[in-house]
Chains A and B, each alone.
Chain A
Amino acid sequence: MNYTPRAILAFLLMLALVVAGVGWGAYRGFSQDKAQVETALGSLESVLSTRAEMGHNLLVVARRHRQDAPDVIDPLIQAVEKDVGELESALPLMEKAAASGRLSRDGGALLDALEASPGVQADARDLGYVTGLLPRGLEQSAQWADAGQYNKAAAEFNNRLNGQVNGRLARLLGVREAELFPPGGESL
């Protein structure tokens, strides 16, 4: 009997099974890793709500003293209100993270303006808030919502996806790169 055609067929079948096995393994492994990156991104969303809460606290004090220097304080209040509004909206997470970055900048400017205002200077309690609790709260929430942590994980995933044969195979099978925050949004 001539076994050659059967042997070739069996070899090709084995090869196909090996390729399918490797491909399926790569797809599953990278899909799982991508899901973990997306979970981290989802967790960031809940941390961003604390940023909005800190913004509200700042606005309470700022509105009380808006008459002290309306030309300076009013536009800053509006800017912080916009940032907080975006943080609480249903915008995509990337835009919320950008709003969180702007809140650091606008909130800092508003705190400086409040500290310089005569009304706050004359009010020991509010001066304590403006120079103590509120900046500490903003800083703490910014640390919690540090997008750099997510970016590090996402960049590592993308490196694995692009740097390994398995990763390229997974890409071919439909696993996409993880989204990264733009460099400006990292230091929220």
Chain B
Amino acid sequence: MKRVAPFLALILLLPFLALSQTAAAPSPAVSDQAAVLDTGLAGEINRVSDQAFKDVGVRYRLVTKHFLGGAGIQAVADQALAASGQPEDTILLLVAVGEENYAVSIGGRATAVLGQEQAESLLSSRFKGLFDRREYDRSAAAAVLAFNDSLYTAKGLPVPAGGGLRSYAGQAAAPSTPAPEATQRPGTSWLDSILPDEETSKQNADRYAKDSEVAYEGSGKGMSLFQIALIGFVLYKIFGKRRSGRGGCGPLGWIFGTWGASKFFGWRK
């Protein structure tokens, strides 16, 4: 038994260890809801983001969407930053491909290293031109590299080579015009890419369908057949046949009478 005990303890601890790992894991650096980025580039940005967090304490997050449903892009970017795993240490770039617009949102601790104005200036000089030409891979790589170079320089650290990302940023590719219908990333839905908050929209729709169904069915309050029969029997006992046994209805008469009254008044379930 003594030999088995540690194994049992380990087995019991495993789920907790797994849970703690999951809780600590940051969300992926790229959420390509518009599906306009190369999957290899997403991996590179993840890698660079992890390294930057180790070296300068800042993560990157890139979100792409097609549309924002009329919401302000800065507000959506701020919401996305707040919803990211570690908003304080994160620089988030939101790109709305169909709206041809972008916004950057920076967490509190990250702002100490890279200010909002500086980030916007970097985007204007190194990202916007490529983005306007619809070179989405290049523009995304250039934006992350611009942030990365600036952060390492500000911290007085040597700027990392970032080979993979630099090759993406340097590639002069033909303008990318993927057909929006055909693009889909695992784990995202097409609605994600055209609504500011797909989850809430779906919840609202589900709630409406459910509420309508509940209203259609009504409260369902009323009496069951058994209750009606019981009431009929009690009434028979109180008002039923006289003691002499003459006159009045029998129990079945009262029960059916009560059932008829319940139909008439709508007391049935």
- A residues near B (Cβ < 8 Å) are 22, 26, 29, 32-33, 36-37, 39-40, 42-44, 46-47, 49-50, 52-57, 60-61, 64, 84, 123-125, 128-129, 131-134, 136-137, 140, 144-145, 149-150, 152-154, 156-157, 160, 163-167
Contact = CB atoms under 8 A, between A and B. Distances in A.
Contact of B67 (A32, A60, A156): A60
Contact of B177 (A56, A125, A131): A125
A125 B133 CA distance: 12
Contact of A56 (B70, B97, B208): B70
B98 A124 contact: no
A46 B204 contact: yes
Contacts of B201: 47, 50, 53, 144
Contacts of B67: 56-57, 60, 133
Contacts of A136: 181, 190
19 contacts: A29-B221, A33-B219, A40-B212, A43-B212, A47-B204, A56-B67, A57-B67, A57-B194, A60-B98, A125-B179, A128-B182, A129-B98, A132-B179, A133-B180, A152-B212, A160-B218, A160-B266, A163-B266, A164-B265
B208 A44 contact: yes
Contact of A53 (B70, B182, B213, B264): B70
B204 A43 contact: yes
B252 interface: no
Q: Is the interface of B mostly helix, strand, loop or mixed?
A: loop
A149 B209 contact: yes
A131 B265 CA distance: 56
Contacts of A36: 211, 214-215, 218-219
B134 interface: yes
Contacts of A166: 265-267
Contacts of A133: 66-67, 98, 180-181, 190, 193-194
A46 B207 contact: yes
B17 to A, nearest CB: 41
Given A47-B205, A137-B191, A153 B215 contact: yes
Contacts of B226: none
Contacts of A125: 97-98, 134, 177-180
Contact of A131 (B181, B207, B267): B181
B219 A29 contact: yes
A144 B265 contact: no
B212 A33 contact: no
Contact of A150 (B190, B212, B218): B212
Contacts of B264: 165
A57 B207 contact: no
Contact of B66 (A40, A129, A145): A129
Nearest to B67: A57
Interface string B89-105: 00000000111100000
